[in-house]
Amino acid sequence: MKGENNKPDIILIGGGGHCLSVIDVVEQEDKYNIKGILDDTKEGDVLGYPILGNRDLVKELSTEGVFFLITVGQIKSSFVREDIALLLESCKARLATVVSPFAYVSKYATIGEGTVIMHNAIINAKAKVGKHCIINTKANIEHNVQIGDFCHISTCATVNGDTVVGKGTFIGSNATISNGITIAEQSIINAGDFIKK
């Protein structure tokens, strides 16, 4: 569905703190009109955008041709985000990929559907970022890195070259992953940690 200025509409799922940051990225990218937000526990609005209801509306809204983006944050577990992704898939919903105009994404990198790349993040050559990931503000993803689906690379974290990050992993703020490391699925790397061979 097209909104104002002939841009497609997007609906954000999750109205917490991460949603605030994503709204700013969506506005700056200026690719979508934010139609509203779905949240299971909140009412009212977020930064002036209406909360339309809960995720039960996905099926109905997906028939309108809008795009969806999961804006539930992730620290300890990716399972809530994964459940929402399964719902979107079952409804054949269209997934948005949102990239800040202030991020740098190499033309040789690959970004999966449903992923958000936040302000000042760097994705270097031949890096591959999976589906429904959060690459947060000032995160640095170096060459040949593989980021699995549903990962959250937090603010100012650095993942050095040839590293493989398993599905559902959280890498905390200012953590540094040395080159050539393999990180298991659903791992939690604490803020400031230095992981080396």
Q: pTM value?
A: 0.94
Which parts are annotated binding residues for substrate?
Answer: 73
Residue 146: strand, helix, or coil: strand
User: Which helix (H) or strand (E) segment is 70 a member of?
Assistant: strand 67-70
Whether the per-residue pLDDT at 74 is higher than 80: the answer is no
Fold of 97-188: UDP N-Acetylglucosamine Acyltransferase; domain 1 (2.160.10)
**Structure confidence by residue, pLDDT tens digits, 88-116:** 999 999 999 999 999 999 999 999 999 99
**Catalytic residue check, 143:** yes
Whether the per-residue pLDDT at 188 is higher than 60: the answer is yes
Cβ atoms of residues 11 and 52 within 8 Å: yes
Which parts are annotated binding residues for acetyl-CoA?
Answer: 152
Please state which CATH number belongs to domain 9-96: 3.40.50.20
Supply the Cα-derived Rg of the chain in whole angstroms. Answer: 16
Whether the per-residue pLDDT at 160 is higher than 60: the answer is yes
Whether the per-residue pLDDT at 25 is higher than 90: the answer is yes
Residue 6: the pLDDT is 82
Q: What residues does each domain of the chain span?
A: 9-96, 97-188
Torsion angles phi and psi, residue 97, rounded to 5: -120, 125
Buried b / exposed e across 64-98, counting CB within 10 Å, b at 16+?
A: eebbbbbbbbbeeebeebbebbebbeeeebbbbbb
Percent of the chain exceeding pLDDT 70 equals 98
Residue 194: the pLDDT is 97
Residue 76: the pLDDT is 79
For range 109-135, the mean pLDDT:
98
Whether the per-residue pLDDT at 65 is higher than 90: the answer is no
CA dist., res. 79 & res. 72, Å (int): 11
- Catalytic one of 18, 119, 132, 143: 143
Percent of the chain exceeding pLDDT 90 equals 90
